[in-house]
Structure 1
């Protein structure tokens, strides 16, 4: 036997949407990915998962293309693989649609600017790398970047540097004894 709900309980129940409500929240796997790559919001991870899912679906559709479409399949597959390699989502040795079907959200997370800073050994950990980016200490090419969610393509990876006026850059130059007289005036 169920008791009758009080007025305030009925009011709360009307507001609650049981269809779209997530009971458990993010899964343990998602929480691990969020911590591992230093993502501040779950929406970023969901976006990367959707992108990876879309690429996997495209690769699957290209693979299952019917007979008579070999030329189209080869042309589209080579374009897709070239784009993914240029973005750095696939390794240079991986050149097949099977590699595209194994693409995950972690590949997108590895191309984020704080992860690239960590790989280039410009920061100690992801938290510091994200803080450096948010504070405006990092530039990619000629542009100063303040968004840690920037995906760095493989071609721009060599152009990730400190901003000229950054105190971090001056400290690194002092530590390596590479600071010249022109830098001392600045």
Structure 2
């Protein structure tokens, strides 16, 4: 084997050839599972989880008898529950927060879960082409996080061709809508 050049040695200083597979497999699996556009999005969710864990640690350092600790903990549980990140409003559920909890609240993942789309790639194309709306607003970003309240407002856009096809299939298409 030839001797490495200076710039090649500099690049290889940051690479761990022994444990590279172990480090990357979970991240890559989550990126593929939730249809993330790249490692940067996953790292943003990781930073968000770390900041929440830091807040939880700061709260845990307060005295247990302190009424502020109880109030702040309850407020944090309520906010995370309303966001859909945790399933119950108990403080025990704060321990299990991970990147996957935020990834599950993305528009494309919710579309698959709510049976609007068959898979994540189909859900991403539906969102990017403007077939979905939340309330009156058309959604065009598949990375948008949806709260529990907004989840109920997720529907087809008014002029969507997919909406017409679904309504035709279910025999729910109104004659008035055919004229539009």
TM-score greater than 0.5 by the shorter chain: yes
Task: Please state whether the residue corresponding to 1:136 is helix, strand or coil.
Answer: coil
Matched residue, 2:74:
78
Deviation, 1:182, is: 1.3
Deviations 1:116-149 (A, max 9, x none): 1111100001111011111111111111111111
Counting only pairs closer than 5 Å after superposition, residues 103-122 of structure 1 correspond to structure 2 as 103-122=97-116
**Aligned equivalents of 1:129, 1:30: Cα separation in 2:** 21
Deviation, 1:66, is: 3.2
CA 1:55 to 1:181, structure 2 compared with 1: closer, same or farther past 3 Å? same
Matched residue, 2:178:
184
Choose which of 33, 56, 59 in structure 2 pairs with 1:59.
56
Deviation, 1:154, is: 0.4
Cα contact 1:56–1:102 (8 A) shared by 2:
no
CA 1:15 to 1:45, structure 2 compared with 1: closer, same or farther past 3 Å? same
Task: Please state whether the residue corresponding to 2:152 is helix, strand or coil.
Answer: helix
Task: Please state whether the residue corresponding to 1:27 is helix, strand or coil.
Answer: helix
**How many residues were matched structurally?**
175
Deviations 1:6-25 (A, max 9, x none): xxx33x3587484xx45548
**Aligned equivalents of 1:78, 1:166: Cα separation in 2:** 41
Counting only pairs closer than 5 Å after superposition, residues 122-133 of structure 1 correspond to structure 2 as 122-133=116-127
* TM-score for both structures, normalised by structure 1: 0.86
- Unaligned regions of 5+ residues in structure 2, if any? none
Cα contact 2:78–2:89 (8 A) shared by 1:
no
Deviations 1:50-76 (A, max 9, x none): 1111112211221221366x2110111
Choose which of 125, 129, 142 in structure 2 pairs with 1:148.
142
Structure 1 runs, 4 residues or longer, greater than 3 Å off: 13-18, 21-26
Instruction: Tell me if 1:42 matches 2:39.
Output: yes
Higher-Rg member (1/2): 1
